Amino acid sequence: MSVACTTSSVKKSDFPQSPERRHLERIVQQYAGPRIVTIGQGLYVAVGYGVSNMILVDTGDGLVIIDTTDNQKAARKILDDFKAISKASVKALVYTHSHPDHIFGCKAIYDKSVIVYAHESFMRELSLQGQLGMSGAQRGAAMFGAMLPQSERVAPNISAYPSPVAVQFVFEHVKPDSIVKPTEMFTGSNASFAVGGVEFDLYHTPGETPDHTIVHIRQMDAIACGDIFYPSFPNLYTIRGCSPRPVLDWAEAQNKIIALQPRHLLQGHGFPVHGKAEIKTVLSHYREAIQHVHKLALEAVQGFLPLDEAVKKACLPDHLASLPYLIQSYGCVPYSVKSIINSYVGWFDGNPVNLSPLSRAELGREVIALAGSAEKILVHAEEAQREGRHQAVLELCEMVLAGDQKNKKAMALSAHSLMALSHWTANGPSANYYRSFAEKQMIE
């Protein structure tokens, strides 16, 4: 292989794809594009305009909108297209939670007459997202492929269940003061409001975020569940960085929805799920998957299992792994296990070797001294790359680069293996992250 690769010389065909990744590519090809889905009289879901959905409820006395997508352009387009269905003005807006992909379209919808509902913890969670500073911004950009050409990004929202969908994140510059703050924040576990005789019950259901809210639209037998359910293994840990997510609360939230027995489940990503029996089955499987991964992590803690061993063994049982709404296209089982273990015992895994480990540079010097030279390390890395052992390539090159940041051969080998991993993995955030750092290595 040539170590003088550049961004212009790399083609998708240069790298093999896993069967799981090829499956995702087929779903992308089947996706028919954005549309407004009619659920019933007065109830609609706009799917595919942005990376998250917008739910519109025409109450007869104005619109109630649940979530606003990830960008103002998408939100405006939805409202323009919706005029063919209804000319009603917006009366109320509900945020299911504080993640940007559900609230960044808000300015396109809001005026001072609109009441904005959210849980009382919404603003606290929104502010916490900014505490990571530039690190959080850079990690988030890499996870969603913000610096990559759109054709090279892997959409965070790819699923065949219940219908094919594949939607890219749209990146708009949004200042913190341009977010429309809630005007009505409810405390405790639940609250209600009505517009035009249609009642909306809000339930605080921590899950992907501690401030998460589901919306029960009683007269329409529907629940807007935000990110409590979406058709992928849930993102119990996100590689852009976050505080530990309330995993067991997320599982319990499935029980809350099941108990309400909705006929329509309006998810924040992808197409709605219909039928009380189908919804109960899907959410029961989702709950079981979350509980299973939590059990794996807790057993590792209790059994004093080394972290790397616990992560390597982490997987879903076959009857769950085969379900189309539990593919690991967004959430990742090994990442989740690692995060849950950390939430119980912190960074120390119990092995005294890891109390004061060597830095990459220090360990690299030891390994290079053992090998005889950095060049010998890189010759071994080349052989590993030919054999497809790309993680080994990355770790060997990291040791060399820790002591020689401008080693071109190490940078090129690392970039090539990052690209290979980005095309092999079926986890969208990981694929974008690998690719983003590959591009960075190539440029440098």
83 vs 75: CA distance, rounded Å: 13
Domain boundaries, the chain: 31-345, 358-443
- Give the pLDDT mean for 164-170: 91
Q: Check if the beta carbon of residue 156 is closer than 8 Å to that of residue 36.
A: no
* Percent of the chain predicted with pLDDT > 70: 96
pLDDT, tens digit, for every residue of 74-121? 999 999 999 999 999 999 999 999 999 999 999 999 999 999 999 999
- Give the pLDDT mean for 172-191: 86
Q: Is the pLDDT of residue 444 over 80?
A: no
Which of 3.20.20.150, 1.20.210.10, 1.10.287.70, 1.25.40.880 would CATH assign to domain 358-443? 1.25.40.880
Q: Which helix (H) or strand (E) holds 63?
A: strand 63-66
Confidence of residue 168 (pLDDT cuts 50, 70, 90): confident
Confidence of residue 241 (pLDDT cuts 50, 70, 90): confident
CA distances 404 to 237, 346, 375, 398, Å, are 33, 32, 12, 10
- Give the pLDDT mean for 117-144: 89
The 3 state secondary structure assigned to 226-265 is ECCCCCCCCCCCCCCCCCCCCHHHHHHHHHHHHHHCCCEE
pLDDT, tens digit, for every residue of 306-352? 999 999 999 999 999 999 999 999 999 999 999 999 999 999 989 99
**Helices and strands in the chain, H and E counts:** 15, 15
- Give the pLDDT mean for 237-244: 89
Structure tokens at 396: 């060997």
180 vs 57: CA distance, rounded Å: 20
How many Å is the Cα radius of gyration of the chain?
A: 23
pLDDT, tens digit, for every residue of 29-76? 999 999 999 999 999 999 999 999 999 999 999 999 999 999 999 999
CA distances 324 to 153, 216, 250, Å, are 22, 25, 20
Confidence (pLDDT) at 1: 36
- 3-class SS shares of the chain: helix, strand, coil, % to 5: 45, 15, 40
Residue 54, amino acid: M
Structure tokens at 295: 């059990």
Confidence of residue 440 (pLDDT cuts 50, 70, 90): confident
Confidence (pLDDT) at 135: 86
252 vs 129: CA distance, rounded Å: 24
pLDDT, tens digit, for every residue of 153-163? 999 889 999 99
* Mean pLDDT, rounded, of the chain: 93
Q: What is the pTM of this model?
A: 0.94
CA distances 192 to 33, 122, 140, 183, 215, Å, are 34, 17, 34, 15, 9
Q: Does domain 31-345 have CATH number 3.60.15.30?
A: yes
- Give the pLDDT mean for 176-202: 93
Q: Which of the residue ranges 99-103, 126-130, 357-361 would you say has the lowest mean pLDDT?
A: 126-130
pLDDT, tens digit, for every residue of 276-298? 999 999 999 999 999 999 999 99
DSSP strands (E only) in 72-221: 90-94, 115-119, 157-159, 165-167, 184-186, 190-195, 198-204, 213-217
